[in-house]
Amino acid sequence: MNALVATNRNFKLAAKLLGLDSKLEKSLLIPFREIKVECTIPKDDGTLASFVGFRVQHDNARGPMKGGIRYHPEVDPDEVNALAQLMTWKTAVANIPYGGAKGGIGCNPGELSVSELERLTRVFTQKIHDLIGIHTDVPAPDMGTGPQTMAWILDEYSKFHGYSPAVVTGKPIDLGGSLGRDAATGRGVLFATEALLNEHGKTISDQRFVIQGFGNVGAWAAQLISEQGGKIVAVSDITGAIKNSNGIDIPSLLKHANEHKGVKGFHGGDPIDPKSILVEDCDILIPAALGGVINRENANDIKAKFIIEAANHPTDPEADEILSKKGVVILPDIYANSGGVTVSYFEWVQNIQGFMWDEEKVNNELKNYMNRGFKDVKEMCRTHDCDLRMGAFTLGVNRVARATVLRGWGA
C-alpha cells in the first residue's frame, strides 16, 4: 500500500472518530498549492540539462508550511503529497505553529558535481522564491540534501528579499543553524521511547533494541540509547547487517561505519541477512530507514514488544492490524520522529529573534515538547478509546480542524 493511500486512510479514520463535518474533512485533504518548475542548468561540460523541481504546500491554517526538499531520481508525486500531508499532522501533534509541505528536484545528486548541484539549487530557488518565505513556507534538508543545500537556498533567496536566515532550517551553524539540530530526530526518538517505556514501568537500560537503518537518525538513536544503558543487539544499513546478542559496542560501530561507509565488515558482531533484521529477537524494534518495510509478509514473525517508528511510514496498515492483535505497541512516526521538525522550529525561532541558544537549552526544550506530546497523544487515546497511531492522528487532525474553523475557512 503506498504512502498516500495509507495516510489518507489514517486521516479518514481520525476524522470519523472526531465526527468532522464532511465538507471540512474534504477541504483538509486538498493541498493549498502544488508547484512544478523547470530547472535548466549548464553542466560542467557546457551542455544544458533540465530537471523538474516541485513543491507541495499542504496546509497553512496553523502557521507557515514546513517540510523537506529532497534530491532523488524517482520523485513520486503521490509520495510527496503524502509526506506534505504527514507534515501537517506531525507539526500539529508536536504543537509547533506550522503546516505541512514537501518538495524537491528529480535528479540523481551522486551524478552531479558540487558546482552543478549549486547551480541547480540556485535556479530552483529563483523559480520558487516568491512562494516560500519566513512566514509562508520554510524548507529543510531531506534525502540527498543537507546544510550546504540550505546555505545556497538562503543565499539565493536573500538576493531577492534581504538577508533572511529563517527562510530555511537545517543550515550550517555558521549561517544561523541551531546547535543540536543534527542529533535532533535521533534524540527525539530517545525521549519518545523513554516516555513510552515509563508508561509501562520500564526503562531504556533493561531493554534489548534492534535498529534498522544506520543513517543520521539510526546512528544517533543507537548512540544515545546505548549511552542510557540500552543494549543494541542488531543493526543494519544498506551495506549489510550485524548481530551481537551481548550488545554491540556502538562507539566502535560508529567509528567503523564512518571509515567504511557502512556497518558491513564490523568485527564486533556476526553478519546476518539484512532482510531478517526486523524479525530478530528483541524487546524494541526501531525502523529508521525506508517506508513500508513492516508489512503482512513479515508482521507475524516480529518478536519485538514495542516498535518505535523513526522512519516515515515504516508500517503498512495490514501489518498494523496483525501486530495489534499480537499485542505489539507501536509508537507512530508522526509523534516518534518529530524531534527533527521540533528543533527546526527552535532554529527558526532563534533566527527570528536574532538570539541563539546553547545546546543544553535546545535539548531540554526538545525533551519538554516530546514529553508533552506523549501526554497529549495518550489523552486522545483515552478520549477515543484507540491505539497510539489513532491517538496521534486524532490529536493532529483535531488541532488543524479547529484552527481552520476559527480562521473562518470551515466549508
Annotated binding-site residue numbers for substrate: 66, 90, 344
CA Rg, the chain, in Å? Answer: 21
Annotated binding site: 66, 90, 185, 216, 344
Q: Which residues contact 371 (CB under 8 A, 6 or more apart)?
A: 191, 195
The catalytically annotated residue of 102, 171, 231, 243 is 102
3-state SS class at 113:
coil
d(CA 90, CA 73): 26
The CA distance from 161 to 136, in Å, is 13
Q: Where are the beta strands (DSSP E) in 176-250?
A: 208-212, 231-237, 240-243
Binding site, annotated residues for NAD(+) = 185, 216
17 grid coordinates = 472518530
**213: alpha, beta or left? (left if phi > 0; alpha if psi -120 to 50):** left
User: What are the E-state strand segments in 283-379?
Assistant: 284-287, 306-308, 329-331
Question: How many Å apart are CA 208 and CA 232, to the nearest integer?
Answer: 6
Q: DSSP assignment, residue 171?
A: -
CA distances from 174 to 162, 201, 372 (A): 18, 42, 31
Distance CA 226, CA 380 (A): 31
List the strands of the sheet with 284-287, edge to edge: 270-272, 240-243, 231-237, 208-212, 284-287, 306-308, 329-331
Residues 6+ apart with CB under 8 A from 1: 292, 316, 317, 318
Phi first, then psi, for residue 243 (nearest 5°) are -140, 140
How many Å from the N-terminal Cα to the C-terminal Cα in the chain?
30
Residue 44 CB partners (closer than 8 Å, separation 6+)? 113, 115, 116
- Assess whether 231 carries a catalytic annotation: no
* 357, amino acid identity: W
Q: Which residues are designated catalytic?
A: 102
